[in-house]
Structure 1
C-alpha cells in the first residue's frame, strides 16, 4: 500500500504464505515454475567458475590468456544485457508466458552448443546465447510471479525467484563436484544446465498467461487510455512515463537498486570463487569447489532469511540492512586481499641466480611437459618456489628462490 507517496509493506508473517499455498497449491506451482528462471540464472553464474578450471586444461589458449578466460566468463553477462533489453518489449508485445518459453529455447540451444564446443570461441558463442536466455527470463519470471500472486503474499512468492537463483548457484557447485572425475568434465557441467530450462518449458506450457497482461490486451478502453497518455511507440511511452513524477521517482529508485546490486561485486566472487580458493593454497580442483560451497550455501541461506522477513519488515528496511552488510564484508574482503599481497614473501633475484635458473625445483624438472607448467603446478608442488614479478608467466626462465615451507606463490 502507498501512503503519502511512501511504500509500506504489509506486515504479514511468512506463515501466511505457507497457509495460502497449502490450501491452494496451484499458486505455489505458478511461482515455482516461473521461478525456475532464477534457478537458470544462478546455475549459469556458478557453473562457469568450476567449468573454467577444466576448460583451461583442454585449451592451451585459455590457460595462457586471462583475457580469453574473462571473455568466456563475462559473455553471459553481455548476452544478459541484450536479453533484458529486448525481454521487456517481447513481454509487453507477446506476453510473459511466451517470452519465458522463448528464453528457455534460447537457453537450451546455448547450453548444448557449450557442451559440444570444439574451440573456445564456440564456448563464447554459447555463453552469449545462454546470457540472452538468462536476461529475458530474469526480468519476466519475477514479473509473472508478481502478476499471478495474491497481494498479501506477493513479496514472499516473488522471493522464491531470488531463492532459486541462489540455490541454483549452490546446486551448480554440487554438480561441478559430481563431474570432476567424469570424462568430459566441463562439457557435462555446462550441458546439464539445459535440463532446468527444459523443465521450465514443459511446466510453463500448462500454465496460464499473466491475468494483468491479458486484461490490458483485452480491454480496448484501457489500451486507448494508455496510448492517449503515453503514446503508441516505445519512445513516446518512455517520455510519458518520465513526465509522471510518481513513475519517475519509482524508476529512479528501481534503477539505483539494480545498479547497486550489480556493483556489489557478488558475481565476481561467484564466478571466480574456486580460482580464489586455489590461489589461497588449495590447488586441488575438487577441494577448491568443495570449499566454494560455503559461499554459495550462505548466499542461499540469506535468500531464505529474506523470504521469512520481507513481508514482515518491508522491502526498504531489508534492503538497507543488506546493503550495510554487503559494504562491510566487501571492505573486509578487500583488506584481506591487500594484506595477503603486502605480506607475501619477498623474492630476491640474487638468491635465485645463485641457485641457477629452474635447477632447484625438482617437481618442475621431473614434469614431462614442463612447457605447460602453470601457477597451479607450483601450488601442488609445495616446494616453496616463487616467480619474480619481473618475469611473470615465463615457464622456461623462472627466477626462483628457496623460501621456507610456509611461503606463498606470488606472481
Structure 2
C-alpha cells in the first residue's frame, strides 16, 4: 500500500481505515484554545532552560557561600541530571495513568517546589533536594509537554506548536544568563537568580485547570463524550468528532491498561520497532555531543582565546551563545511545517558535521602557532554550531519522536526516549573534558566529526518525513516499512 499525503487541509485519514474527517472550514491553523495550551505548556520549557543554564553564574557564588569543595559543587549539577533521568522515565507513565493535563500540573508543582528549596536553601543538602526535585520536573516536562501538545495540535501546525517548547527552553537559557550576570555582584545574589523560577509555575498552576484534556487520552479511556467536547473546542465539526472517535474505537488503537501497553513493547514487533527507532533518534542526537558543547561553551571559547590580547568577556560569550540558540530554534519554528522535518535535520546535522571539523582544524592550527584570525573563526564557528543544533536536533527530537510513537505508548515511549537521552548526555558531559585531555582538543573534535557523520547517515537513510500527516498515516509508514522518503514523493 502507498500512502499519499492529505489531499486538502481539511481531511485526515483516521485509524488506518477509509474514514475521512472534515474540520470546520473556518478553522484557523492556530486557534485560541491551541494558543493557550501551547503558551501555558511552554512555560515548562522556559523553566527547563532557566534551570539548566542558571548555574553557569550561580554555582561559583553558591560554592563560595557554602564553602563547598569542587566535588560537592559538581554534585549540584549532577543531581539535576539524576532527577531528570528519573523524571523522564516516570513522567510518561504518569501521563498515561492519570492524563496529560494532570501530569503537566504535577510537573509545574515540582518546578515550584524545587524552586522553593533552592531559593531558601541554608545548606548543601537542602540545595541538593531542590535540584533533584527540579530535575524531576525538567525530565518529566519532556514527555508530558510534547505529548500533550502533539495530541492537541492539528497536523498542519503540530511541528511548530511542539517546537515552541524548545523556543522557550532557549529563551529561558538566555534570560538566566542575563539575569544571573546582572545579579552576580549582589550579596546572596544567587538566591534572587534561583527565585526567578518561583513565579512561572504559579501561572501554570492557575491557568492549566481551564485547559482541555488530550482527546486521544480521553478516547483511550473510552470517555467519548468528553473527547467529542474537546474536539469541538479544537474546531472539529460534530460529524468529524464522532467519526474520529468511532474509527479509533473500531480499530482498537488504544488500550486501557499500562501493563497491556508494556506487554506490547515486548510482544508486538511494530510497537517495539517504533519505540526503538525513537531511542535510536535520541542516540544520534547524543552522538553530536551538542549538549556537552553547550555546557562547555565557555571552556571551549577560553581554550580558543588563550593568548588573545582582546579576549571575549564572559557575559558576552554566554549572551552570544544564548542568541545563537534562540535564533536557531525560532528559524525552526518558522519553517518546520513548510520545509519539513527531514530537510531541517539534514541541513542542521550537515552544518554540525562541518563545524566539528572546523574546530579540529582551528585547534590543530593553534597548537602550532598563535593566530587571532583562527581564534575568531573558532569563536564564530561555535555560534554557528549552536545555531545549527537548535535548527535541527534540539527542537526536532521532541517533534519527530512524539509523532512516530504509537498512541497507546506515546507518553511512556517519550519518557523512555528522554530518559535514555539524559543518561547518554550525562555520560558525554562527564567525558568531554577527559577526551579533550586524552586525545588533544583537535583530535577530539575529529572524533566528534566522525560520530556526527553516523547521525547524518541515520537521518538520510532512516528518518521518514512526517510533516502534515496524521498519527494514523505515520503508523502506516512503519506498517509498510517505508524507510526514508516522504509520502508526497511516494504519491508522485
TM above 0.5, yes or no, is: yes
Moved more, 242-251 or 193-202: 242-251
Deviation of 1:262 after TM superposition, in Å, equals 3.6
Equivalent residue runs for 1:184-333 within 5 Å: 184-219=188-223, 232=257, 234=259, 236-241=260-265, 243-274=267-298, 280=305, 287-333=313-359
Deviation of 1:223 after TM superposition, in Å, equals 8.0
* C-alpha distance in 2 between matches for 1:4 and 1:74: 48
Q: Helix, strand or coil: the match of 2:221?
A: helix
User: Which sections of structure 1, spanning at least 5 residues, go unmatched?
Assistant: 13-18, 345-388, 390-411
* C-alpha distance in 1 between matches for 2:44 and 2:195: 16
TM-score, with normalisation over the residues of structure 1? 0.70
Deviation of 1:45 after TM superposition, in Å, equals 1.2
Q: Helix, strand or coil: the match of 2:95?
A: helix
Which of 1 and 2 has greater Rg?
Answer: 1
Residues 44-88 of structure 1 show CA distances to partners (whole Å, capped at 9, x for unaligned) of: 1111112123223323324xx2x3333211221210110011111
Q: CA RMSD in A?
A: 3.5
- 1:405 corresponds to: none
Contact 1:35 1:142 in 2 (8 A): no
- 1:151 corresponds to: 155
- 1:355 corresponds to: none
Contact 1:31 1:145 in 2 (8 A): yes
- 1:351 corresponds to: none
Contact 1:21 1:27 in 2 (8 A): no
Contact 1:72 1:124 in 2 (8 A): yes
- 2:28 corresponds to: 20
- 2:408 corresponds to: none
Deviation of 1:301 after TM superposition, in Å, equals 0.7
Higher relative contact order (CA 8 A, sep 6+): 2
- Counterpart of 1:54 (choices 61, 66, 71) is 61
- Counterpart of 1:34 (choices 22, 31, 41) is 41
Deviation of 1:298 after TM superposition, in Å, equals 0.6
* C-alpha distance in 1 between matches for 2:327 and 2:341: 18
* C-alpha distance in 2 between matches for 1:156 and 1:4: 27
Quick one: structure 1 residues 111 and 231, their matched pair in 2 at CA, closer, same or farther if it must change by over 3 Å?
Answer: closer
Residues 147-195 of structure 1 show CA distances to partners (whole Å, capped at 9, x for unaligned) of: 1112221111111111111111111112112312333121211221222
Contact 2:100 2:214 in 1 (8 A): yes
Work out the number of aligned pairs and report it.
330
* C-alpha distance in 2 between matches for 1:125 and 1:337: 40
- 1:114 corresponds to: 118
- 1:44 corresponds to: 51
Deviation of 1:29 after TM superposition, in Å, equals 1.4
* C-alpha distance in 2 between matches for 1:8 and 1:169: 37
User: Which sections of structure 2, spanning at least 5 residues, go unmatched?
Assistant: 10-26, 225-245, 371-436, 438-492
Quick one: structure 1 residues 45 and 263, their matched pair in 2 at CA, closer, same or farther if it must change by over 3 Å?
Answer: farther
Contact 2:47 2:172 in 1 (8 A): yes
Quick one: structure 1 residues 198 and 296, their matched pair in 2 at CA, closer, same or farther if it must change by over 3 Å?
Answer: same
* C-alpha distance in 1 between matches for 2:219 and 2:261: 19
* C-alpha distance in 2 between matches for 1:10 and 1:290: 49
* C-alpha distance in 2 between matches for 1:300 and 1:312: 20
Residues 25-49 of structure 1 show CA distances to partners (whole Å, capped at 9, x for unaligned) of: 3321111111111111111111111
Quick one: structure 1 residues 185 and 274, their matched pair in 2 at CA, closer, same or farther if it must change by over 3 Å?
Answer: farther
Q: Helix, strand or coil: the match of 1:61?
A: coil
* C-alpha distance in 1 between matches for 2:301 and 2:84: 27
- 1:404 corresponds to: none
Contact 1:9 1:313 in 2 (8 A): no
Q: Helix, strand or coil: the match of 2:36?
A: helix
Deviation of 1:92 after TM superposition, in Å, equals 0.7
* C-alpha distance in 2 between matches for 1:337 and 1:120: 38
Contact 1:241 1:247 in 2 (8 A): yes
Quick one: structure 1 residues 165 and 219, their matched pair in 2 at CA, closer, same or farther if it must change by over 3 Å?
Answer: same
* C-alpha distance in 2 between matches for 1:278 and 1:115: 30
Residues 327-383 of structure 1 show CA distances to partners (whole Å, capped at 9, x for unaligned) of: 332344455556667769xxxxxxxxxxxxxxxxxxxxxxxxxxxxxxxxxxxxxxx
